[in-house]
Amino acid sequence: MRFAIVGAGAIGSLFGARLSLAGHDVVLTHRNRSIVRTIQKNGVSLRELDGTVSRVRVPVRKGPAKLSGTEVLIVAVKAYDTREVAESYRRLVPLETTILSLQNGLGNVETLRSRFRNDILAGSTTEGALQLAPGSLTHTGAGSTIIGALQPRNSGKASRINIAFNAAGFPTKTSSNILGVLWAKAIVNAAINPLTALTRLPNGALVKNAAIQEIALRVIDEGTLVSRAARIRLVGNPRKLWRRILLSTKTNKSSMLQDIERGKMTEIRQLNGAILSHGKKTHIKTPVNGILTKLVLALEESLKMTTPKA
């Protein structure tokens, strides 16, 4: 298959390298010219869980780029960049191209559907990856990926991508209730990411701390109540999923912790902030999600004040 991936960060580069190794035609795009040049020069260096290192020559282009002939466009940017990506690519993506959102948070699919007439698929992955430098990453945790169509007529396309992902070494399955998958993942991430960002602890440490675990479970319970009020049927038990993910990614740094360490914006608005927003709409109180949202936003602001300007 011919894939284009918008976003050459950890997840985008991981999927790009693996799909390329599996024999698919892949091109990465990124808006930062310096990052594009680095990957063009050095390729993508991928260290796997067993310690083996592969250097993969994946074509990369400065985005936004015209994507003629692309069968599947994977959107792998941060959730807060989805609107900008949709605006900049809306006239560059052929109508026959299927768009797959492989992102964290809530609202991405809705944003893409509002800007494109293409068939839109949604996906969720628990694969762990740490980007050490542009084009250099470590696969830090084996996970699972779920993709699904928002409309039944697109289920065949989801099945084709499912086959490609599995062949590339990503355990993948399809779901007929992908919104339930996305909400469950967002609720679990809301109970992991901000807590790691605020405490600077790796994932596994959350399970061992009773006080943190109490906060996390309250976040999950609030999110579950909001999802019910929004008439979302969650896929899986978020409490069990929370524990399973943390135990399988003990040494991982969450994406939000990585962002804080780099002084970058986080996806708190699309996680806890989204639960808070949906709670207001459905008249469900979400005080713990509200507090975590404010704390992480304050942390972001403090980092802006202390990070030297380039």
Q: At residue 45, what are phi and psi to the nearest 5 degrees?
A: -95, 120
Reported pTM: 0.92
> In the listed set 176, 200, 217, which residue is the last one of a domain according to the structure?
176
Q: Are residues 186 and 93 in the same domain?
A: no
Q: Are residues 107 and 199 in the same domain?
A: no
**CATH number for the domain harbouring residue 214:** 1.10.1040.10
pLDDT score recorded for residue 249 = 84
Q: What is the mean pLDDT of residues 301-309?
A: 74
pLDDT score recorded for residue 250 = 85
**Residue position matching structure tokens 């990856």:** 129
pLDDT 10s digits, 15-61: 999 999 999 999 999 999 999 999 999 999 999 999 999 999 999 99
Domains identified in the chain, total number:
2
pLDDT 10s digits, 64-122: 999 999 999 999 999 999 999 999 999 999 999 999 999 999 999 999 999 999 999 99
- Please answer whether residues 128 and 249 qualify as being in contact, where contact means their C-beta atoms are separated by less than 8 angstroms: yes
Whose CA is closest to 272, among 205, 309, 220? 220
What is the three-state SS of the chain?
A: CEEEEECCCHHHHHHHHHHHHCCCEEEEEECCHHHHHHHHHHCEEEECCCCCEEEECCCEEECCCCCCCCCEEEECCCHHHHHHHHHHHCCCCCCCCEEEEECCCCCHHHHHHHHCCCCEEEEEECCEEEEEECCEEEEEECCCEEEEECCHHHHHHHHHHHHHHHHCCCCEEECCCHHHHHHHHHHHHHCCHHHHHHHCCCHHHHHHCHHHHHHHHHHHHHHHHHHHHCCCCCCCCHHHHHHHHHHHCCCCCCHHHHHHHCCCCCCHHHCHHHHHHHHHHHCCCCHHHHHHHHHHHHHHHHHHHHCCCC
Beta bridge partners of 131: 137
Active site members: 185
The mean of the pLDDT values for the chain is 94
Q: Are residues 220 and 74 in the same domain?
A: no
Cβ-based neighbour number of residue 83 at 10 Å: 15
| Token code pair at residue 301 | 């602001």
Residue 268, pLDDT > 60, answer yes
Residue 308, pLDDT > 60, answer no
> In the listed set 148, 176, 204, which residue is the last one of a domain according to the structure?
176
Residue 141, pLDDT > 90, answer no
pLDDT 10s digits, 219-241: 999 999 999 999 999 999 999 99
Q: Are residues 250 and 108 in the same domain?
A: no
> In the listed set 111, 144, 176, which residue is the last one of a domain according to the structure?
176
Domain that holds residue 188: 181-306
Whose CA is closest to 13, among 63, 41, 49, 47? 47
Beta bridge partners of 174: 147
Q: Are residues 24 and 171 in the same domain?
A: yes
pLDDT 10s digits, 195-207: 999 999 999 999 9
Q: Are residues 93 and 27 in the same domain?
A: yes
Q: What is the mean pLDDT of residues 277-298?
A: 97
Q: Are residues 14 and 30 in the same domain?
A: yes
